[in-house]
Amino acid sequence: MNRDNFSALLTGIGVVALIVGFAIYFNNPKINTPSFGNSGDNFIPAVSVDNKTGQIIKSQYAIDKSQFKKAPEFEGITGSINTKPLHLSDLRGKVILVDFWTYSCINCIRTIPYLVDWNDKYSDKGLVIVGIHTPEFEFEKDIHNVQAAVKKFGIKYPVLQDNDKATWNAYKNLYWPRKYIVDSEGYIRYDHIGEGGYQETEKIIQNLLAERAAQQGIKGISFNQNLIKAPLVTESVDFSKIITPEIYLGYNLARAPLGSKEGFHPAEIVNYSIPKLDLEPNTVYVQGQWKNNPDNLELAGDSGKIVLLYSAKSANIVAGGNGSATITNDPSGVNGSIGTSQGESAGKDLTGNKLVIDGQRLYNISQHDNYGNHYVIINAQGKGFQIYTFTFG
- The enclosing domain of 341 has a CATH number of 2.60.120.260
Distance in angstroms (rounded) separating the CA atoms of residues 163 and 110: 22
Please tell me whether residues 195 and 250 are part of one structural domain: no
Question: Alpha-carbon distance 383 to 385, whole Å?
Answer: 6
Nearest to 294 by CA among 262, 248, 250, 254: 250
- The answer to whether residue 174 sits within a structural domain is yes
At residue 1, the pLDDT reads: 42
Q: d(Cα 331, Cα 238) in Å, to the nearest integer?
A: 25
- 255 and 210, same structural domain? no
Looking at the chain, the whole-number percentage of residues with pLDDT higher than 70 is 80
Helix (H) or strand (E) holding 87, with range, is none
- CATH at 113: 3.40.30.10
What digits encode the pLDDT tens for the residues 22-31?
Answer: 333 333 333 3
Which is more confidently placed, 302 or 46? 302
Q: What does the alpha-carbon distance between residue 110 and residue 101 come to, in Å, rounded to a whole number? A: 11
**pLDDT over threshold 50, residue 39:** yes
Q: What is the pLDDT of residue 381?
A: 97
pLDDT, residue 56, reads 65
Residues 203 and 327 in one domain: no
> What is the sign, positive or negative, of the torsion defined by CA atoms of 212, 214, 218, 219?
positive
- Residue range 236-249: mean pLDDT, rounded: 93
Encode pLDDT of 306-325 as tens digits: 999 999 999 999 999 999 99
pLDDT for the residue numbered 55: 65
Mean pLDDT lowest for which of 53-62, 134-143, 316-325? 53-62
Per-residue pLDDT reduced to its tens digit, 336-384: 333 444 556 889 999 999 999 999 999 999 999 999 999 999 999 999 9
pLDDT of residue 66: 81
Separation CA 113–CA 117 (nearest Å): 6
- Whether the per-residue pLDDT at 110 is higher than 70: the answer is yes
Q: Give the domain-ending residue among 174, 199, 216.
A: 216
Indicate if 382 and 294 belong to the same structural domain: yes
Query: Please, are residues 336 and 275 in contact by the beta-carbon 8 Å criterion?
Result: no
- What does the DSSP assignment read for 111-145? HHHHHHHHHHHHGGGTEEEEEEE--SSGGGG-HHH
Beta bridge partners of 269: 291
Domain endpoint, select from 175, 200, 216: 216
Query: Does one domain contain both 180 and 267?
Result: no
Q: How confident is the model at residue 18, as a pLDDT?
A: 36
Residue 225 lies in a domain: no
266 and 339, same domain (yes or no):
yes
Count of domains in the chain? 2
Q: What is the dihedral of CA 87, 88, 94, 100, to 10 degrees?
A: 110
Q: Flag whether 221 is in a domain.
A: no
Residue range(s) defining the domain that contains residue 354:
3-22+242-392
Q: At what angle do helices 106-122 and 143-153 cross, to 10 degrees?
A: 60
Whether residues 108 and 171 share a domain: the answer is: yes
Residue 381 domain-assigned (yes or no): yes
Over range 166-190, report the average pLDDT.
Answer: 97
Provide the percentage of residues in the chain whose pLDDT is more than 90: 69
Q: Does 292 share its domain with 199?
A: no
Same domain, 304 and 157: no
CB 320 within 8 A of CB 139: yes
Identify whether residues 165 and 268 lie together within a single domain. Answer: no
Q: Tell whether 14 and 52 lie within a shared domain.
A: no
Q: Indicate whether 200 and 304 sit together in one domain.
A: no
Q: Nearest 5°: phi and psi at 159?
A: -130, 125
* Cα(361)–Cα(105) distance, integer angstroms: 9
Q: What per-residue confidence (pLDDT) applies to 67?
A: 84
